[in-house]
Structure 1
Amino acid sequence: MKSVFVSTFPFCRTSPKALELLASNGYKVTINPMGRKMKPLEVMEAAKDFDALIAGTEDLTPLVKETTHLKLISRVGVGLDSVPLDLCKERGISVAYTPDAVSPAVSELAVSLIIDAMRKVTYADREIRNGEWTRPYGSRIGGSTIGILGFGRIGKRVASHLLGYMPKEILVCDLLNQEQSMERLQKLSNQIFEMNQTIGKNWNPTKLIQVDLETLLKRSDAVTIHIPLNDNTKNLLDAKAMSTMKPEAVLINTARGGIVNEDDLYQILKDQKIAAAAMDVFLDEPYNGPLCELENVILTQHMGSCSNDCREDMEREAAENVVGFFGGGSWERVV
């Protein structure tokens, strides 16, 4: 009987389908007993003698170095910064992931955080709880310039969601030429414009433009991050980069902790060099750092994927990857 350790938390909180799939195919499953994100050495000790690991965003380097038994790592999600791929290849450990299931939930959260930060929704909630009532003014997406850093699965979804709000322009920064994808979205933008014209609205179509990072930061009223964490993107948004943003701009990170330098962000926000930030991801999680002291930052619990349907899809697909790998069926592998 093959054994599977599940380190990701939560797992099967709202649906038992992933566990049922593994059990019905004869797998012995052990689930993270800690009720929180496991630390790297904890994962190593717990999972080193298992055949497969269903993992979250835990750093798996100590496990991969130590184990002589593990054959498969199946990631619940798309990010692979926590998986030492070269070392896995060297040690004969295959890696699978669930690249599509997470996109709808993360993209919707990103848009909601843009609105929250620009309209000061959470800030107003805090005021009421403190007995205050200033009715703070904010900015709309409509007529604004929104910057999307990273135009993969999630970045493209964010752009499509934003079009209905009719921003003035969407700036895209990506390593790849995104001309074809942007042309398709531009056609959608034009259709939305025509639809609004028929009901008497005086809009202009949103323009989609690919730019470099410097231009994106300088021109955007909101910047939302959708790139992986790697050696090239760690601390990509440091004090120097963020100081080029507009004073009224907001910064949203639902990608990975470490892309935005948290110490620099704290100082930028404290000095009010940008208006606000929303952070769903952190270098160390759970987060309990100095950003908690500030009123102009929204902090959420790495919950971009945490919609009921997307978590169920991600967990089921991670289990399907295990079954497919050991059973000779199909599985979504990392190249």
Structure 2
Amino acid sequence: MAKVFVSTFPFCRTSKVALDILVSNGHEVMVNPLGRKMKPIEVSESARDFDALIAGTEDLTDLVTNSKSIKLISRVGVGLDSVPLGLCKEKGIAVAYTPDAVSPAVSELAVCLIVDAMRKVTYADREIRKGEWTRPYGERIGGATVGILGFGRIGKRVASHLLGYLPKEILVCDLIEMKDSIRLLSDVASNLYQVNRDLGKNWDATTIKQVDLDSLLKMSDAITIHVPLTAQTKNLLNYKKMSLMKSSAVLINTARGGIVNENDLYKVLQENLISAAAMDVFEEEPYKGPLSTLENVILTQHMGSCSNDCREDMEREASENVVGFFNGGRWERVV
């Protein structure tokens, strides 16, 4: 059977199911021994003689370039910006991923960060730790306009979660026409409106519509990002674009580092051109940059997928993809 290297960190922290799947199907497994995210050269040196790699978000270009053994890369997650797909195709390396397992955890974290940034929850926590007590005012999602940049699996889930907060409007920005998905969510919004009418609440139903990027930036009170990192989305939100946002708006990124230009975001926040930001992802991780010096930014550790259940599902599916590939079963492949 296959020799499998696991570079992603953490792996099997709360459940050994994923590892048991590999071993019980006869595969030899070595797990990242460093206890942290591996650097590209470390992945290349460690995994180049293996048949398969179970990967996190490490840049795999060096490994794919130099390995003569790798036959399969199985991503724990959905993003593929770290995988050189063209080079994999040239070398006949198959690529698998876990597109559905991550969505519940990331979408919930995105909504939590919207609430945190708008209501200044983390800011208040910092004040108390410094002996201060100003009881900062914030904004509610209810009655606000929320912009969703990218309306795939995660973006749609975020919209469905937001409906319960009764925002005034949800704006969708995506390259693909989203008329059918918007119609389904609008039906849910209408039902929620009727429930509130029955309870004696006189709130209007949330409206949902698709707009272009500049309109999303100008009109939204909160913007949450759910697009992949590609050549087209690299530095998509730079100083010029973020300057279009309302001064009271908040920006949330749980997608990929590099979509938001971090140096430009620092300037925008420092100049109070927007109210706050929350960043779960960074160009280089662990993050040690200047955003950590600002009070109006929330920084988390690329933990969108890190709920116990979703992480276990992602790891299990990544292992099942390895078994499916080498043992002739089902596997979720990238086309």
TM-score, length-scaled by structure 1: 1.00
Partner in structure 2 of residue 146 of structure 1: 146
Partner in structure 1 of residue 113 of structure 2: 113
State the SS of the aligned residue for 2:137: coil
State the SS of the aligned residue for 1:283: coil
Q: Which amino acid aligns with 1:127?
A: E
Q: Which amino acid aligns with 1:167?
A: P
Matched residues in 2 for 1:135 and 1:8: separation?
Answer: 41
Deviation per CA, 1:200-234: give whole Å up to 9, x if none. Answer: 11110000010000000000000000000010000
Deviation at 1:121, TM superposition (A): 0.1
Q: Which amino acid aligns with 2:189?
A: S
Partner in structure 2 of residue 197 of structure 1: 197
Q: Which amino acid aligns with 2:11?
A: F
- CA RMSD, aligned part only? 0.4
Deviation per CA, 1:261-285: give whole Å up to 9, x if none. Answer: 0000001000100000000000000
Matched residues in 2 for 1:136 and 1:256: separation?
Answer: 30
State the SS of the aligned residue for 1:124: helix
Matched residues in 1 for 2:334 and 2:242: separation?
Answer: 33
Deviation per CA, 1:125-184: give whole Å up to 9, x if none. Answer: 000000000000000000000000000000000000000000000000000000000000
Matched residues in 2 for 1:153 and 1:241: separation?
Answer: 25
Matched residues in 2 for 1:85 and 1:205: separation?
Answer: 43
Matched residues in 1 for 2:268 and 2:157: separation?
Answer: 29
Matched residues in 2 for 1:37 and 1:227: separation?
Answer: 23
Partner in structure 1 of residue 289 of structure 2: 289
State the SS of the aligned residue for 1:106: helix
Q: Which amino acid aligns with 1:307?
A: S
TM-score, length-scaled by structure 2: 1.00
Deviation at 1:104, TM superposition (A): 0.1
Partner in structure 2 of residue 7 of structure 1: 7
Matched residues in 1 for 2:72 and 2:54: separation?
Answer: 8
Identity percentage over the alignment?
A: 73
Deviation per CA, 1:231-276: give whole Å up to 9, x if none. Answer: 0000000000000000000000000000000000001000100000
Partner in structure 2 of residue 47 of structure 1: 47
Matched residues in 2 for 1:32 and 1:198: separation?
Answer: 56
Q: Does 1:265 align with 2:254?
A: no
Matched residues in 2 for 1:275 and 1:114: separation?
Answer: 12
Partner in structure 1 of residue 60 of structure 2: 60
Partner in structure 2 of residue 235 of structure 1: 235
Partner in structure 2 of residue 130 of structure 1: 130
Q: Which amino acid aligns with 1:34?
A: L
Partner in structure 1 of residue 95 of structure 2: 95
Partner in structure 1 of residue 163 of structure 2: 163
Q: Does 1:325 align with 2:325?
A: yes
Matched residues in 2 for 1:35 and 1:286: separation?
Answer: 13
State the SS of the aligned residue for 1:209: strand
Deviation at 1:64, TM superposition (A): 0.1
State the SS of the aligned residue for 2:34: coil
Matched residues in 2 for 1:11 and 1:19: separation?
Answer: 9
State the SS of the aligned residue for 1:252: strand
Partner in structure 2 of residue 206 of structure 1: 206
Runs of 5+ consecutive residues of structure 2 not aligned to the other structure: none
Matched residues in 1 for 2:184 and 2:110: separation?
Answer: 21
Q: Does 1:104 align with 2:114?
A: no
Q: Which amino acid aligns with 1:35?
A: G
Partner in structure 2 of residue 36 of structure 1: 36
State the SS of the aligned residue for 1:138: coil
Partner in structure 2 of residue 302 of structure 1: 302
Q: Does 1:78 align with 2:78?
A: yes
Runs of 5+ consecutive residues of structure 1 not aligned to the other structure: none
Matched residues in 1 for 2:154 and 2:330: separation?
Answer: 24
Matched residues in 2 for 1:95 and 1:2: separation?
Answer: 15
Matched residues in 1 for 2:135 and 2:101: separation?
Answer: 38
Matched residues in 1 for 2:246 and 2:257: separation?
Answer: 22
Matched residues in 1 for 2:36 and 2:2: separation?
Answer: 25
Matched residues in 1 for 2:33 and 2:260: separation?
Answer: 31
Matched residues in 2 for 1:34 and 1:172: separation?
Answer: 41
Deviation at 1:310, TM superposition (A): 0.2
State the SS of the aligned residue for 1:74: strand
Matched residues in 2 for 1:221 and 1:50: separation?
Answer: 48
Matched residues in 1 for 2:150 and 2:142: separation?
Answer: 21
Deviation at 1:2, TM superposition (A): 1.4
Q: Which amino acid aligns with 1:7?
A: S
Deviation at 1:323, TM superposition (A): 0.1
* Over 4 Å off, 4+ runs: none
